[in-house]
Amino acid sequence: MAPLIVDIHTHVYPPAYMQMLRARKTVPYVHDPAAANAPPRLIILSSDDDASIPLDQRGRPVDASYSDIEVKLAFMRRHGINSSVISLANPWLDFLAPEEAQTWAERINDDLEATCAGVNRAADPDNTRALHEKETLYAFGALPLSAPSAEVVVREIQRLKTLPHLRGVIMGTTGLGKGLDDSRLDPVWKALQETDSLLFLHPHYGLPDEAFGGPEALNRYGHVLPLALGFPLETTIAVTRMFLAGVFDRFPGLKILLAHSGGTLPFLAGRIESCILHERKFVANGGDVPGPQRSVWDVLNTNIYLDAVVYGTAGLKAAVTAAGGADRLLFGTDHPFFPPLGKDDEEWPSVTTNYKAIHAAFEGEGETVAGVLGENAARILKLK
């Protein structure tokens, strides 16, 4: 029997979200080129919004795979995926005006629930088939982080637990605007802990353009620098700030799934730990800043899960070592990003590369491979 395969890192821009982006003229926004049959262009990063670049060439093309759930299901069938946990792609709802945040969050999350319910009902009307025998959808909800108060965010976290197909929330690294070490987020962390909700932490803002050589380098090299380097470092910095601020001390039951195998966190965890142990500002060394009470390794082994979207065996092995075992590693595709460049290509190299890396990293370990591909996700997210 083929192993259960669950994709926990796969994005959707619902039609209402695309409509909202089309109405905007500042990042993020969607532009419809004048050329016939040209797909819409998504301008998602500030570096894409360069006046020197023709409008019809800015950002990236976004075809039906970004918003049509039937295309998502076809992609799943092509790559043998049984279940997908869909989520709104970056930049989520971070850019909304405070008075709009709650309404849009509820609308989009209800749409996600309805989409999942419809697909699952059609695949198994009597709810009698096993998970690996059908195509199912679940979702991570979006949060109204720009709302006037954290209480609005807390209420949405609590409401999401009443939606049968929601399995947690997705969130970027800015939190309420000042990063994830912001003490104003404590009610949010508390709500996630109390409701036993998994937080899928995903990068978006990267590093300043100057870190990559400024606009000239970005125009020359496209998205390679901000996506390959900026996103992983953004995740690493965000989680390290949480750790230094004692978030995991105050909320030891917080559960976080990190995109892209935690960025560079698995590789740098030891260095982070060493720098903390030698930091004179912390109380443990005679300073006046409390500093974290738990070790980086304890948090990685207890509070953190990692996706397997790392495209190589070396990265996967580092992720498993840092996480304390392959039972905390979950398969993902990052669909619909990184599509094949050839028009006639049916398989996505970005996906098959992840498959190959998992099998190579755990060669001869059938149970471990099955766990990473789907059993871990089914257990952690309580998929039926």
What pLDDT sits at residue 203?
96
- CB neighbour list of residue 271: distance below 8 Å, 6 or more residues apart: none
Which three-class secondary structure state does DSSP give residue 32?
A: coil
What pLDDT sits at residue 290?
95
What pLDDT sits at residue 45?
83
What pLDDT sits at residue 23?
92
Higher pLDDT pick, 185 / 56: 185
- What pLDDT digit, counting tens, does each position of 24-73 carry? 999 999 999 988 888 899 998 888 888 888 888 898 888 999 999 999 99
What pLDDT sits at residue 185?
98
What pLDDT sits at residue 254?
98
* Percentage of the chain modeled with pLDDT above 90: 84
pLDDT interval class at 346 (50, 70, 90): confident
Distance CA 384, CA 382 (A): 6
**Helices 265-277, 231-244: crossing angle, 10 deg rounding:** 30
Q: Taking the alpha carbons of 178, 183, 185, 189 in that order, is the dihedral positive or negative?
A: positive
What pLDDT sits at residue 101?
97
pLDDT interval class at 362 (50, 70, 90): very high
Q: Average pLDDT of 314-343? A: 94
Task: Find the helix or strand (DSSP H, E) in which 8 lies.
Answer: strand 6-12
Q: What is the CATH number of domain 6-381?
A: 3.20.20.140
Q: What is the mean pLDDT of the chain?
A: 94
- What pLDDT digit, counting tens, does each position of 138-149 carry? 999 999 999 999
For the chain, the farthest-separated pair of C-alpha atoms sits apart, in whole angstroms, at 67
- What pLDDT digit, counting tens, does each position of 211-264 carry? 999 988 988 998 899 999 999 999 999 999 999 999 999 999 999 999 999 999
Q: Average pLDDT of 339-355? A: 88
Q: Which residues, in sequence order, are bridge partners of residue 171?
A: 201
Of the chain, the end-to-end C-alpha distance in Å amounts to 18
DSSP 118-168: HHHHHH-TTS-S-GGGS-EEEEEEE--TTSSSHHHHHHHHHHHTTSTTEEE
- What pLDDT digit, counting tens, does each position of 88-112 carry? 999 999 999 999 999 999 999 999 9
- What pLDDT digit, counting tens, does each position of 145-176 carry? 999 999 999 999 999 999 999 999 999 999 99
Exposure string of 29-53, with b = 16+ CB inside 10 Å and e = fewer, is bbbebeeeeeebbbbbbbbbbeeee
What pLDDT sits at residue 356?
96
